[in-house]
Amino acid sequence: MHPIPSLAVNRRRATLLLIAMSVLWVILLIIMRLYHEQAPWIDILVTGAEAGMIGGLADWYAITVLFHDPFKYIWTPRFIRDHTQIIPRNKNRIADSMGRFVQENFLAPHIVRQNILDKDVVLVASLWLKQDKNAHALTRELKRLVPKMLRIFEKPDIEQFFSQNLVEWLKNTRINKPLSQILDAIFANQMHQSVIQVGLDVFYGWIQKNPEQTRYILQKVLDESSVLGFVSRGATMFGFDIKEQAITGVVKTVGELQKNPEHPIRRMISESMLHWMERLKDDESEESIQIETLKNDLLDNETVTRFVLLVTNNIRDNIIQDLESSDSSIAYSLERLAVQIACALSEDASTRSSINQEIANIAEFAAERYADAIITYIRVQIQAWDTEFMIDKIESEVGGDLHMIRINGVVVGAMIGLILGSVQFAINLT
């Protein structure tokens, strides 16, 4: 990478070279006056020194008027003074031009889209992420950033503010239609039977693994609800345990439901879900009102809200504690997952192409929608810069190169002068 030239060093070099060339020109003029007949070729050197001095002065003037007014304390015609301090005088126009340049060459939607597709950003990212050192660096940054973000909510006033506003938002947000849309999506994709099956598999699996707890819970329900109470006591007198038979029947029925997708009760559950889906679409339906009432009752219950807050705080604290430990299981799992996905994507061109297309679509949309706001921000920031600050900023970045132009002006001017002097000398000899 080309190093940034030193502004102070190059300015000093250019100034010293211009002074040296001016002194040389004066010395050569004296020599020419004293020894012109003995050395007529001295005219060539005088012309070279004179051209070098003029080139240096011209470039000094051209560079100086970009930022300053060299005639600040000297009277000069208006048409000359009006073309000094070019950058400070045209700060707003420069800001507009820079904004248009960025918009037309970097943020134009078609350019953004094409750059993403041409560079295959997913491949670039996956090749970078599949290296263990890069994945580790990424997770290390997450370990630093996520706890800092979560600790924001440890402050009581912030926690209370967000919890109160969240509860208020939930109270004012009807949930019947979102629930209806979820059920609609389940039925539209014929997933309802799979959802029921998963629920039954989990429930029946737990029953099989915990028979004693199952019987205890069912026995407790039957006892506290007084279901079959009188009949059970009467049957027990004749050696027949109705509650035991009921418990066995419940367990057997759950097993049948789990094994038979066409079971009448399963069809009844599907029909009930479908009925609920349709009824929840109507805000005034009994089911919608019941759902809203249940939701508000839960939100108004301090025990429930405290319990939810306690659970979320515990989850937050556990995440922070894990991420801040040296052997974080969350960070390790995320790192392995990132490497796994990166390795898979680097070998799957079809999936990469699909993801690139989606990223390009999003980027194109963002460029089209937000480019003007970005450009306006750039323009406003440049216009708001203090003039002296802007001059210092530009000079610090490109001033070193600009003063190299002064040096080149002296050197190139001197070379051209020598060439012209030589031509003149040759003509005078003929």
Per-residue pLDDT reduced to its tens digit, 278-332: 888 888 888 889 888 988 888 888 888 888 888 888 999 999 999 999 889 999 9
- Classify burial at 292, counting beta carbons within 10 Å of its beta carbon; exposed 0-12, middle 13-18, buried 19 or more: middle
Cα separation, 288 vs 290, in Å, equals 5
Cα separation, 319 vs 143, in Å, equals 10
Give the residue from 13, 2, 1 showing the smallest Cα distance to 402. Answer: 13
**Confidence bin at 125 (pLDDT 50/70/90):** very high
Query: What's the mean pLDDT in 266-287?
Result: 85
Residue percentage of the chain with pLDDT more than 90: 24
**Positive or negative, the Cα torsion across 183, 187, 190, 194?**
positive
* Segments making up each domain of the chain, as ranges: 7-89+385-429
Cα separation, 413 vs 46, in Å, equals 12
Tokens of 256: 């049948």
Weakest-pLDDT range from 74-78, 131-135, 147-151, 354-358:
74-78
Residue given tokens 């194109």 in the structure block: 364
| Amino acid occupying residue 308 | V
Query: What's the mean pLDDT in 137-142?
Result: 91
Q: CB of 100 within 8 A of CB of 375?
A: yes
Give the chain's largest Cα–Cα span: 152
How far apart, in Å, are the Cα atoms of 109 and each of 32, 118, 355, 372? 67, 14, 18, 12
Cα separation, 217 vs 169, in Å, equals 37
Query: What's the mean pLDDT in 75-102?
Result: 80
Q: CB of 424 within 8 A of CB of 47?
A: yes
Element at 176 (helix H, strand E): helix 176-188
Tokens of 345: 């994507």
Cα separation, 345 vs 333, in Å, equals 18
pLDDT for the residue numbered 77: 79
Q: Per-residue pLDDT tens for 181-218? A: 887 877 776 677 777 788 888 888 888 888 788 777 77
Kindly report the pTM of this predicted structure: 0.58
**Confidence bin at 24 (pLDDT 50/70/90):** very high
Q: What is the CA angle 150-154-159, rounded to 5?
A: 100
- The torsion angles phi and psi of 329, rounded to 5 degrees, stand at -75, -35
CA atoms within 13 A on the CB side of 338: 22
CA atoms within 13 A on the CB side of 148: 5
Residue given tokens 């304390």 in the structure block: 73
